[in-house]
Amino acid sequence: MNRKTFIGASSIVGASLLANVGKAVSSSRPLPVSSALTLPRLSELRRLAICIPGEHAVGLNVTKVADAVRPANVVVKGHEAQQMMTLARTVYQLEYADGTVMIDSGMDLETHRTFGKTEEPFYPENFETVQEALLQAKLILFTHYHADHTAGVIRSPHFDKIAHKVWLTRDTADLLLHHPHKETVHIAEDRLNRFVVADFSNCLPLAPGLVIWKTPGHTTDSKMLYIRLQDGQEFIHSVDSGWSMQNILEMKMKNASWVKENETQLLEQYRWLNEIMSENPKLTVLCTHDNEQYERLRADGILGSTLHTAASQTKR
């Protein structure tokens, strides 16, 4: 399939998917991830972002449920071993005039405690807000199967009320089922089949101004997101491709023994992101765990500094 027919097919899948949100689609066949996946052009992402009719989101909000503190040379190869670096466990929310889309779900305290060797900061109030936001969301996306992104749903006290609107791909579903990242996020098949399990080839428009595509590298099921807001602000959410923007900007890998990543694919993604940033200085590349970026973009008003919920609305 050439690039043009491929994009056309993706758009049709996107439209039919939207019609099917709320119904779990089960497939017993795992989706093979092609190593030949090419990164999309920004022009293609922009085109796909307007495929689904409707107003674009009015804001992109973020919060963090926890922090991890790691030596800088574990986060970025070649950095100082004595210097410590804070990694934020963030959750993003795309806010439309008539509802919200959650991007990942953070994790609960018990799951948080399975990371790291010492007790690290956890923010229970923010986690409560995430739970409220999940309950009120129209759609909840999983970018990949890791516990710091999925435990907020899998271990949610509201699981029965939110399961029908959780969207994930077949490969993420298979990993959650057969290779759970942590003991705490083990999920039974009947519960997982209540999610919307989707298959697509490469790029998929999911909602007005929101496109998702496959970027295996950090994990085999990793994806990135393109977001365009009503005011024209553009973002590429690079998810966990880097743990810090420094991985991306300096083209340096993580250096943690427990992380098994595909270096070739990640370096290609870093190169691609750098090219987009240099050609589009107004576009913001997001990085899930970069705490410095989390603080700065909230302070600058580029990201909303808390998630939108009915409760936060009355406080405004």
CA 77 – CA 232 distance, rounded (Å): 35
In contact, 210 and 101? CB cutoff 8 Å: yes
Output the smallest distance, CB 172 to Zn ion, in A: 11
Q: Does 261 bind Zn ion (CB under 5 A)?
A: no
Cβ-in-10-Å burial (0-12, 13-18, 19+) of 95 comes to middle
Distances (CA, A) of 176 to 54, 169, 209, 251: 33, 11, 28, 29
Taking the least distance from each CB to Zn ion, the nearer of 108 and 148 is 148
Using CB under 5 A as the binding rule, whether residue 148 contacts Zn ion is answered as yes
- Taking CB under 5 A as the criterion, the residue among 64, 70, 79, 146 binding Zn ion is 146
Shortest Cβ 289–Zn ion spacing (Å) = 6
Of the two residues 44 and 240, which places its CB atom closer to Zn ion in the complex? 240
Q: Interhelix angle for 147-154 vs 124-136, to 10°?
A: 60
Minimum Å gap between C-beta 257 and Zn ion is 16
Min separation Cβ 74 and Zn ion, Å: 14
- Is 104 a binding residue for Zn ion by CB under 5 A? The answer is no
Judged by CB under 5 A, the number of residues near Zn ion is 3
Q: Interface mask (CB under 5 A) for Zn ion, residues 36-65, using x and -?
A: ------------------------------
Our CB check for Zn ion shows the closer of 146 and 252 to be: 146
Cα–Cα distance for residue pair 219/178, rounded to 1 Å: 14
From 70-78, 106-114, 146-154, 296-304, give the range in contact with Zn ion by CB under 5 A: 146-154
Cβ proximity to Zn ion: between 112 and 146 the closer is 146
Question: Min. distance of Cβ 199 from Zn ion in angstroms?
Answer: 21
Instruction: Identify which of 191, 175, 174, 208 has the alpha carbon closest to the alpha carbon of residue 58.
Output: 208
Q: Answer whether 205's CB lies under 8 Å from 35's CB.
A: no
Cβ proximity of 289 and 88 under 8 Å: yes
8 Å CB contact between 133 and 308: yes
Question: Whose Cβ is closer to Zn ion: residue 56's or residue 181's?
Answer: 181
Output 240 or 290, the one with its CB closest to Zn ion. Answer: 240
Here's the x/- map for Zn ion, 211-250, by CB under 5 A: it reads as -----------------------------x----------
Report, in Å, the least distance between residue 14 CB and Zn ion: 25
Contact between residue 104 and residue 92 where contact means Cβ atoms under 8 Å apart: yes
Q: Where in the chain does DSSP place strands (E)?
A: 59-71, 84-96, 99-103, 139-141, 166-169, 196-198, 203-207, 210-214, 223-228, 234-237, 284-286
Nearest alpha-carbon partner for 243 in 76, 80, 114, 37: 76
Measured from the CB atom, the residue of 48 and 140 that comes closer to Zn ion is 140
Please name which of 184, 204, 1 lies closest in space to residue 196, comparing C-alpha atoms. 204
Nearest-approach distance from CB 268 to Zn ion, in angstroms: 18
Instruction: Return the number of the residue (146 or 170) whose C-beta is nearest Zn ion.
Output: 146
Q: Which positions lie near Zn ion, rule CB under 5 A? A: 146, 148, 240
